[in-house]
Amino acid sequence: MDCKLVQQDLSAFVDGTLGARRQQAIEEHLNACENCTRELQWLHLILDSAATLSPRSATDSLWTKIANELESQAPRPAVRWRHALSARFSEAISRITVPVPVSQLLGIAAVLLFGVILGRYFFPPTGPEAPPFQKKPGQVQLTSRADTYIEKSKTLFLGIMNADLADLTKSDWKFEKEMAGSLIYEAAHLKEEYSRKQDARMKELVEGLEMLLLQIAMLENQNDLKEVELIQSGIERKNLLLRINLYDLAPPQDKRLDRSL
Amino acid sequence: MPPASSGNWSKANKDKVSASQALDLDSDLIVACKQGDRQAQYELYKRYKDWVFNIAYRMANHREEAEDLTQKVFLQIYRNIDSFRGESAFSSWIYRMTVNLSINHFRKDKKRRQHISNELSSSNNPRAGLLKRHEEKFNLRPHLEAAISRLPAGYRMVFILYDIQGYAHNEIATMLDISEGTSKSQLHKARKELRHLLEPFIRLHSTL
């Protein structure tokens, strides 16, 4: 038998995976061939050395490295408003249709303000002035927090309502989710305060917004058009933008708030 | 079937493997890991770190690189644990992820192989330190470790799993998603290549 052919099969021979006849033939050849027997011994040495390689252990600090990496990848529980307002979200806001150019609007506002100043100069009020509304310090703080919460929610909802659903393949809703997450914390505080003050209407408004914020915060990372559409219809169905606008239009003293909604 | 030449080693390794498979995580721990519970993640790490690190070490033959690879494997496990649906044993899922990430890691790294190749060539000069080696009992292991790390990634993994870890071809086929026949043929090619790489040592030892 050819030594070259035998040596090609030595690996299968030591594993015992050759057919019985081939196994037998090689054994007979090995009994007669010193060269192939030496090859077999070397193969044994390689395999025995491989089987007795010492197991290795990682250093103790490896877990610390992994844990640090996990920590750095973990999403932050809440983010500041300025950071949360992403460029993509700003772009969505900018797509809100405004029929009149901004410069013209500013011009009209300046003319109106000038008119009011002139009117008060030439026709000063004659009757007794209404006393200014006095807010208690705690109430000022609460109203201001509610204003911020409602204003941010409005911006978020407008962004969602005006989002281009055809372009959602590139979006992961990361910033919207983060913003909604931070607003939910604020909602919890506001609800507690309004419960304490027995201001049912204000509590109801905060809760109404909170429901939608929860849905936004729980959006999947991959785009789920159905979920987004549900949120859009929720905003519409509950007239949230209208309710926010009514809140915005109410005079400051009424934002405590029994008459604004 | 384990190599005929391997004596008791394969049985010992098989017992180890069976024991590790018996350590399959209970479902509570998997759920906790899915929720990002750090303590649960540490428990999982403790159970599988030795297995993962040994595969990585044999693939790299370099401690730091093996630790980097081990870290990469665990981060991938935590990141993808949601995709584990319980259709196979959890240990099998981890083994599959480890071997596939390791092979991909080394397949991409051709520069490294060239570097190792040069390193092995210089250390393979059998005439260097001839006297010292002549006085010592011939020990092939350090040269074998270097030679293994020079094999192509696919051959290397099959050799590590069969000849070092003691897995059967059907188990390797499942882990690597290849046929048993491919596993066998890659093993024989790996052994042949190793024999070739170790030729200078073998020749030297034959003349001593």
Please give the residue that has the higher pLDDT: either B80 or A232.
B80
User: Which residue in B54, B70, B163 is closest to A55 by CB distance?
Assistant: B54
Q: Is B78 left (phi over 0), alpha (psi -120 to 50) or beta?
A: alpha
Separation of alpha carbons A53 and A51, rounded Å: 6
Helical pair B180-197 and B141-148, crossing angle rounded to 10 deg: 130
pLDDT confidence band for B168 (50 / 70 / 90) = very high
pLDDT tens-digit map of B61-112: 899 999 999 999 999 999 999 988 888 888 889 999 999 999 988 876 555 5
CB contact under 8 A, B164 and A38: no
What local confidence, expressed as pLDDT, does residue A128 receive? 47
Separation of alpha carbons B187 and B161, rounded Å: 10
Residue of A nearest to B202 (CA): A42
User: Which residue in A38, A57, A70 is closest to B53 by CB distance?
Assistant: A57
CB contact under 8 A, A67 and B78: no
Helix (H, G, I), strand (E, B) or coil at B88: coil
Helix (H, G, I), strand (E, B) or coil at A110: helix
- Quote the ipTM score: 0.75
What does the block give as tokens for A24?
């037998």
Query: pLDDT at residue A107 above 60?
Result: yes
Separation of alpha carbons B34 and B26, rounded Å: 13
Distance from CA of B86 to the nearest CA of A (A): 23
Q: Which of A4, A6, A15 to mutate to test the interface with B (most CBs of B within 10 A)?
A: A15
What local confidence, expressed as pLDDT, does residue A86 receive? 52
pLDDT confidence band for A165 (50 / 70 / 90) = low
Query: pLDDT at residue B142 above 90?
Result: no
pLDDT tens-digit map of B21-53: 444 567 888 999 999 899 999 999 999 999 999
Average pLDDT, chain B: 78
Predicted structure pTM score: 0.53
**What is the mean predicted confidence (pLDDT) over A107-129?**
72
* Cα angle value A122/A123/A126 (rounded, 5°): 145
Residues 117-156 of B with CB under 8 A from A: 140-141, 144-145, 148
* Cα angle value B191/B197/B202 (rounded, 5°): 95
String of DSSP letters for B29-79: HHHHHHTT-HHHHHHHHHHHHHHHHHHHHHHH-SHHHHHHHHHHHHHHHHH
String of DSSP letters for B185-197: HHHHHHHHHHHHH
